[in-house]
Structure 1
């Protein structure tokens, strides 16, 4: 590969910040549904854990399909990412509170209405989030820009975690007098929509569509060629495999946090405080991970985060005595590792586009993000279903004192999943071919190919 082509000009920090702020808006929706919706189903709507798990799983699978279809549509139509984000922002904001609207039905109709709300919200979320994520490929071809943007997105995302964690129950209490009531959680969802919608509109209208990333003329790939290219893109495949393992581990752990604090610590509000502390930890460690990645590379950072998460999980399993501070310390440490995973994933995913183009001759952008999101959502859905059935298997029943057997089960669900998932992710990431400086050399070679190709 050639090294003579200089790197592309980098984006200004205001442009980076404006674009990355979209992750704050998206995560207001995502974190609320991730942290509170399953608990809302079991402890507010009083659904059986396995039923709640199945609803969440079907919603996540549908979400993944919507991501995939959106990626296919954008890839085939070469549509404007900015325009798609702008058009979807308002409908998404209107649809989000439907997740916390208790249907006036019973039995199968009740469950069916909850599924419909999931499908509507997740379809619109995919319509906004996939073009937004894929936009990071076109906004710059420089891996430094992409890493900086990924880090800033992580910071904005973790700010959203803190906001959702601290504000949800407080809004609910102010509106309804209860920390977790239907009316209160519905009001919190409405507030998040009112905040997120203008942020997404600002991103869509103010972010440069293609700053620092001149578009190369290339033949439009068919869906079949695009999927074949992704399947042969070893950097993409191994990155997604590592992400799926972490997604399962993260989901099973975070789904258990509120149950742990409610029934083991006996302080439900301490659970939301723990979630907020996790968000703060994630936000504070992202700048550190950005510096570490610059020094040792993305793969090494991922493997280091695996070691951190595994040690923290084992230490907590051996020392857990039900004290809130021990759980807080464990969760904060885990969130620091999870922030590293997320940062590396979003920093590396755009680079796999050029890796696939270099080796396969076909450039696949939005479809890459659609397929990656599909795999992530399927993993999350499967993990949520597994969590629901695991809680049913240990004998969990909502809003009653739990037996020692159930309490032990909650502990192990929260601790064992991160150990297994992180170790499996390390095996996948260790074989990823994107080493330090590999992407820069690939971009230089692709630019030389374009310069050497006469116009049609």
Structure 2
């Protein structure tokens, strides 16, 4: 039987406009991911285990908020663009609260930090989940989705470069110190001033899309929707693989600033390394887009696993504390992470149609909400583990570290990527979405043909 005619694709300007929203979201996300834990320990002088617990609680709540937002969006079927546009302003106002130092002591101090986490992460979920789910509605063509995922990655990694290079420099300019409370607060405020109007523009100018199902169709009951996701093998294996990578990436990224501050003994080199990681992501994403087109998503994922494991082992065997060796290692890690993130966001919308075809029910926003929940729980758990690990090896902020601590930091950086990647490879090997599987499923849902097993 002849293949069906391909669906009309989005124009490149439309793809770029929609994907630019990830630059805004990643100004927030990269700042909290790269600097907030370090800010807690080395600026607010919290014990590592306390900082890790605060971050974990906030991240777990972030995941719960993602799930609740997904449930609400699945039942209410709001216009995603409207939610993104109206939510951009309160989100921008809430972000600097993460870097606010309350004039309290003890439990009250920690409580205010947690309130700031809850406020920001609730609003982030409210805006980000509709934006992510929008990618399943804006087009059913996997080529559009892969292109948008790649462009989103590019914008996200550019935001990572901006955050890495600008945060401590803004702090230095406004306060005279690279790591001051006032400086970090001002940096967060400037990021919000850039992100807010960009999200409003994306909401106002991007295509609404249809996603293959009328938004007026009856809402799927929550329990049925969760059960459908639990039996959606494409969704479960993809999210499991990404959760393993998220834990590995989190433990690695949380250690970068500590490595450069206490082993290389050059704080500036640390932020430069973070920027290089972001730049590497930008450079490698087009390569991964081409590779996916040629070899498919699963093969690309497994290739990234091999790259990360080989890079970690090589660094473990050759590390001397030289900045250039660490930079090369981190660029290699970021190249692999860019592949993982690209494949995940390219494949996740496709699991919607896979579940619709095999389970008889289409789950959009709830799919993205649950996926984000699993990622945020993984990130929160990894941050808490990192905090307790640093406490266990005897880390103390702003003092010369012992040989035992130095060795511990090195092992945290290399062991987590190896273990996480091996587990992710096992999960991805069980994923049923092969090359062209999604295109055939879309055709079958349209009544053209049935995809081969």
Shorter-chain TM-score above 0.5: yes
Tell me the equivalent position of 2:199.
Answer: 200
**Per-residue deviation, 1:220:** 2.4
Distance 2:291 2:216 in 1: 36
Runs of 5+ unmatched residues, structure 1: 451-456
Superposition deviation, residue 5 in structure 1:
2.7
Q: Distance in 1 between matches of 2:317 and 2:49?
A: 29
Q: CA deviation at 1:4?
A: 4.0
Contact 2:26 2:159 in 1 (8 A): yes
Residue in 2 that maps onto 1:14: 13
| Residue 7 of structure 1, CA deviation | 2.0
- 1:348-427 to 2 correspondence within 5 Å? 348-427=347-426
**Counterpart contact for 1:6–1:444, Cα < 8 Å:** no
Whether the 8 Å contact between 1:142 and 1:440 is mirrored in structure 2 is: yes
Query: Do the aligned residues in 2 keep the contact of 1:141 with 1:212 (CA within 8 Å)?
Result: yes
Alpha-carbon distance in structure 1 between the residues aligned to 2:227 and 2:368: 15
Cα separation, partners in 2 of 1:216 and 1:398, compared to 1, 3 Å: closer
Aligned partners of 2:406 and 2:5: how far apart in 1? Answer: 58
Count of paired positions? 449
Match of 1:454 in 2: none
Q: Give 1:448 shift.
A: 1.0
SS at match of 1:358: helix
Structure 2 unpaired stretches of 5+: none
1:353 Cα deviation after fit:
0.1
- Give the conservation status (yes or no) of the 8 Å contact 2:250–2:382: yes
Aligned partners of 1:167, 1:90: CA distance in 2, in Å? Answer: 22
C-alpha contact (below 8 Å) 1:3/1:444 kept by paired residues? no
Contact 2:84/2:203 (CA < 8 Å) preserved in 1? yes
Task: Please name the residue that 1:33 is paired with.
Answer: 32
Counterpart of 1:118 in structure 2 is 117
Q: How does 1:124-139 map to 2 (within 5 A)?
A: 124-139=123-138
1:305-344 equivalences under 5 Å are: 305-344=304-343
Residues 44-59 of structure 1 aligned to structure 2 (within 5 Å):
44-59=43-58
Q: Distance in 1 between matches of 2:98 and 2:211?
A: 39
- 2:166 is matched with 167
Tell me, yes or no, if the aligned pair for 2:92 and 2:193 is still in contact at 8 Å: yes
2:179 & 2:121 partners in 1: Cα distance? 23
The root-mean-square deviation of aligned C-alpha atoms, in Å, is 1.3
Moved over 6 A (4+): none
Partner of 1:71: 70
| 8 Å contact kept, 1:355–1:439 | yes
Deviation at 1:449, TM superposition (A): 7.6
* Cross-structure match for 2:272: 273
Instruction: Tell whether 2:442 aligns with 1:443.
Output: yes
Partner Cα separation in structure 2 for residue 217 and residue 119 of structure 1: 32
Counterpart CA distance in 2 for 1:237 and 1:56 is: 26
Deviations 1:300-331 (A, max 9, x none): 00000000000000000000000000000000
Q: Residues of 2 paired with 1:34 and 1:340: CA distance?
A: 19
Helix, strand or coil at the partner of 1:210? coil
1:8: how far off? 1.2
